[in-house]
């Protein structure tokens, strides 16, 4: 079963950037449909180099919604996002959901937005609508696991895609 994820974004200039989520306790947040993040120690011929890990940009996929123009504005104006929080939830007892994983970014920048829509005559893609893929680079990242963030790790970004 896929985890349900939401994102909150606070820009230095625009403040809170609201999305269209309507789920209880997540009203106004941005619903995450897909997430990717690559951290690696670069190397040659499969051998890791002695250098520091490289932080790639976080890539998310979401529906185009009321946050989209503001996220585009953040990219266009190179607005620093002081706080970006992505939180995933898993099913818990009595049909409730509990937080299981969270990523918090500090001093982030949107570095890429790709809007897209599947071919309207392709019936295998009927459930898709207007979508966008967004890449976010950052200065600092905090990963935490568990309902209360029992396990966590914080790092400063290094690499070509860091802020």
The two structure tokens encoding residue 61? 């996929």
With vertex at residue 149, the alpha carbon angle to CA 143 and CA 51, rounded to the nearest 5 degrees, is 25
pLDDT for position 96: 83
Q: Name 124's Cβ contacts closer than 8 Å, sequence gap at least 6.
A: none
Fold of the 4-156 domain: Pnp Oxidase; Chain A (2.30.110)
Provide the pLDDT for residue 129. Answer: 81
- For 98-118, the pLDDT digits (tens) are 999 999 999 999 999 999 988
Domain residue ranges in the chain? 4-156
- Which residue has tokens 């002695």? 50
- How far is residue 148's CA from residue 151's CA, in Å, rounded to a whole number? 9
Q: CA-based angle 82:140:15, to the nearest 5?
A: 10
- The rounded percent of the chain whose pLDDT value lies above 70 is 90
CA 139, CA 143: separation in Å to the nearest integer?
14
* Global model pTM greater than 0.85: yes
């Amino acid at each position: 079963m896929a985890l349900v994820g939401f994102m909150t974004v606070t820009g230095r200039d625009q403040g809170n950037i609201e999305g269209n989520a309507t789920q209880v306790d997540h009203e106004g947040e941005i619903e995450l449909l897909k997430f990717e993040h690559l951290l690696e120690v670069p190397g040659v011929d499969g051998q890791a180099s002695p250098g520091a890990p490289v932080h790639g940009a976080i890539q998310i996929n979401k529906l185009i919604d009321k946050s989209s123009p503001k996220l585009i504005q953040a990219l266009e104006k190179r607005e620093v996002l002081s706080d970006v929080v992505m939180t995933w939830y898993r099913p818990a007892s009595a049909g409730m959901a509990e937080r299981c994983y969270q990523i918090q970014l500090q001093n982030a920048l949107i570095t890429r937005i790709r809007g897209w829509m599947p071919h309207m005559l392709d019936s295998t893609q009927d459930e898709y609508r207007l979508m966008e893929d967004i890449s976010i680079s950052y200065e600092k990242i905090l990963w935490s696991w568990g309902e209360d963030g029992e396990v966590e790790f914080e790092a400063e970004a290094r690499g070509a895609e860091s802020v």
